[in-house]
Structure 1
Amino acid sequence: MWLLKEICAGIPGASGLKKPEQEITALVFDSRKVVPGCLFFAVRGTLVDGHTFIDQAITSGAVAIVCEEIPENPNPEITWIKTASASFALGLAAANFYGHPSAKLKLVGVTGTNGKTTVVTLLFKLFRDLGYKCGMLSTVENRINNEVIPATHTTPDPIALNQLLHEMVELGCDYAFMEVSSHAIVQHRITGLQFTGAMFSNITHDHLDFHKTFDEYIKAKKTFFDDLPDTAFALTNLDDRNGRVMLQNTKATQKTYGLKSMADFKAKIIENQFGGLLLNIDQHEVWFKLVGSFNAYNLLSVYAAAMLLGQDQEKVLTVLSRLSGAEGRFDYLISPNKIIGIVDYA
């Protein structure tokens, strides 16, 4: 059990706490999940404002409230913490509550419109086959080594995310690979996490129902790279017209990959057919089970990330050559009479 002052460390507006030594049982942002002794975060969502549930949270046993507006007649028995963004505070508090698990393994995040699930899945499979204990957080499923945990969002909420990372650390994971959606970046679901590396695949005109404009969508992705520490690497697709934009303000070590551009990590498609891909990657010709030029980019980015994480080139290419991609991401079957069936629900 953590003290309130420990959980609130680093949160803007949390200095001068009324009861800094108060023990906190849990962090909660859903009033239906409040338990006695918890710290409740009044997060403003896209449809619901957590401030309307503050009284309900207190009735259910919350002993401290993080909010953006304190009620007119605040309960004097409650510790009130006013901050500019309750969602930002939640990310920091969740990392504090679980002992900053992301700093105890090597966490790599993958963002972009397309390819996130395949890249994260390939990284997880690759490093498992290289002998490491690993975790994965993806749209399809979350995994801790061989254990499968159902996924409900591309990127979980900060509490669930830090809890999963904590479990990975407890089970000895060396690496964790996760999808980082633009929604998660804007909603501060990854606030408080310490990334070893960040990867950008591509960006197209999707999710404009949430971001409203394409510029806002690009800005959301770029924020992920802007916030990286100088100890991390930032790997971007130089063939995407916005690939270089991601690196403009990052403190991380900048690296690029591409099939067409003069990048740090280069590949060339030699053959592309339903039997697989023959690629020349950094002067090595390798046959892969995956098909399509989009998977050439996915494979190249995974190879580049592995190199940046200090892995052996020959071992990486050997393992990658025998891996399949993510379930439901351009899976294909060829019947005896050469009829091709494709399953893709991305």
Structure 2
Amino acid sequence: MKKIAILGSTGSIGKQSLNVIENNPDKFKVNVLSCRNSIELLSKQIEKFNPEYAVVEDEQDAINLSKKYSKTEFLYGMEGLISAASKTDCDIVLNSLMGMRGLEPTYHAIKAGKDIALANKETLVAGGEIIMDAAKEMGIKILPVDSEHSAIFQSLQGNKGKEINKILLTASGGPFRGFNLKQLENVTLEQALKHPNWSMGNKITIDSASMMNKGLEVIEAKWLFDVPGEKIQVVIHPQSIIHSMIEYADHSIIAQLGVPDMRIPISYALSYPNRIKNAFESVDFFQIKTLTFEKPDLKTFKCLSFAYEALKLGGSYPVVLNAANEILVQQFLKKRINFIDIQNTIDRVLQDHNPTYNLDLCKILDIDKKIRESLKNN
């Protein structure tokens, strides 16, 4: 039985992970739960799963909860997340935190010898080099939870050492597929939050609408699979049935397919190298009938091209790209800026940036903080 620490248990991935665990009580035990301030939902999760530890953002919430749940030890803040990820008795840390918040706990969990189920792409976007170096040093596994990276990981099984021509990273195209720049100027928050295929948290849903999500996944794929950016090709696939593909040196292509249900890659990451039975929906090819593919429109959805450029330039550029995007998405969610302002402002920030190289964790966090402060003050 694997002991699981879930960082971000009240978010979309966290809740779906708990569904997988609940349906497989003989295989998994929840050791850690965490949330920022969804205290009511966290309380229900504690009552159901009886974790040894739980982490919240505020000290007072930790104090209040400890009075109610005496069998659970409560931690708080970033230090609490780091302790829960690195010092508790767990076999695998599922990082489903939102944004840059996932980097530090993941780094310290790796240094403590914990395997990682990674659903937080910003960890590798901002800290790919230090994370992968630490994983190699400690001999731990980083198991991708994102459907696309899980598909790539699965398509690589049994082909270790085989030459890869390219990774074909699929994308739904989001709710604004086919729009031009003029149309993007007038889209609303409500439209941007209506993803055609996936049920996700607000931040990742907006990233999908802007295609930044796919840009971040390109950078993540580079680090996870040690493939240069020029060998990672984004393919728009509106049906979201093929989750990604690998083309090998002989031009054979291996793909992973499934319905758009995040519980499938979650269960694979948690149970790896095994697969567990489930009652999830399967693909009905006779009902689907047609799978289609398109080139991404990089002139309209500029965030994707920014990600490729940041990856090429390296150093602190991906850190800046990620930090700027997080702040701007937050501002859009609060209706302080327009949708098109996300990519326009990221463009300006990247052009103004004076890069730094040979980054360690402290430098990454410092650059991230400065970019956020500069955009909050604008």
Q: TM-score range by the shorter chain?
A: 0.3 to 0.5
> Which is higher, the Rg of structure 1 or of structure 2?
1
- Compare the two structures and name the one with the higher helix fraction: 2
TM-score scaled by length of structure 2:
0.34
Larger RCO, structure (CA 8 Å, separation 6 or more): 2
TM-score scaled by length of structure 1:
0.37
- Compare the two structures and name the one with the higher strand fraction: 1
